[in-house]
Amino acid sequence: MLQGMKIPQSAWEQHHYRFGLAGEGQADIIQKHLASHGGTILDIGCGLQGRHVVNLARLCDLVIAADKEAGMVRSARADGAPANSLFAVANVKDLPFRAQVFNVIVALGLLAYISDPGPALSELDRVVRPGGLIMVTNAVVHPIQPLLEAAGKTGLRLMEQAEGYCPAASGAIKRRYLCIFEKS
């Protein structure tokens, strides 16, 4: 719908990237699910921008923003740290959290840096509560099939899938997919 239209980058980022890297319309889907699940959210691969954490914090009791790079965590914290937020240095393949603590896990754009999604999804499955959600986005240049297969092996159920235009998507095709998985 918006592809090809001249939209200021800042407007695009405020609307579509309000929680992190997402394609057109995906932030609205993410927000709908966050509003119904709330509770405690893990933003894994939070990146540099604390405004994503601020936006997530508006929809939950507590958000923990984590990245494996300490500099990313420092930048996100300095960019905005709501009272209901914590920041941590953590690797998605070995999270320092107890089992079944999160209602929702958001990993927007993170899988672009992971060649095998299996270990990461297993670890996310470990820390999400039964009935909880794991939301993942990635550029379509990264095949979705390995993600779906890895999720199936962990017992995660694909609840919703969407694809949308994203000017920040890697590769020639500027599209990003969103997968929302539910833990049984």
* Domain annotation covers residue 2: no
List, as one string, the DSSP characters of 37-64.
H-SEEEEET--S-HHHHHHHHTTSSEEE
d(CA 74, CA 61): 22
Q: Which amino acid is at 94?
A: D
Mean pLDDT for 44-61 is 94
Number of neighbours of residue 23 by Cβ within 10 angstroms = 26
Per residue in 65-74, pLDDT (tens digit) is 999 999 999 9
**Considering the chain, what percentage of its residues have pLDDT values greater than 70?**
94
User: Is 1 within the bounds of a domain?
Assistant: no
| DSSP H helical ranges for 43-158 | 50-57, 70-79, 117-127, 145-154
Local confidence band at 11 (pLDDT 50, 70, 90 cut-offs): confident
Examine the pLDDT at 2 and tell me if it is beyond 80.
no
Asked if 155 contacts 183 with a C-beta cutoff of 8 angstroms, the reply is yes
When pLDDT is cut at 50, 70 and 90, the band that residue 146 belongs to is: very high
Here the CATH number for the domain that contains residue 114 is 3.40.50.150
Q: Give 81-123 pLDDT, tens digit per residue.
A: 999 999 999 999 999 999 999 999 999 999 999 999 999 999 9
* Single-letter amino acid, residue 75: S
Q: Which two tokens stand for residue 31?
A: 């927000």
Q: Report if pTM > 0.75.
A: yes
Domain count for the chain, please give it: 1
Domain residue limits at 173: 9-183
Q: Which tokens go with 27?
A: 């932030």
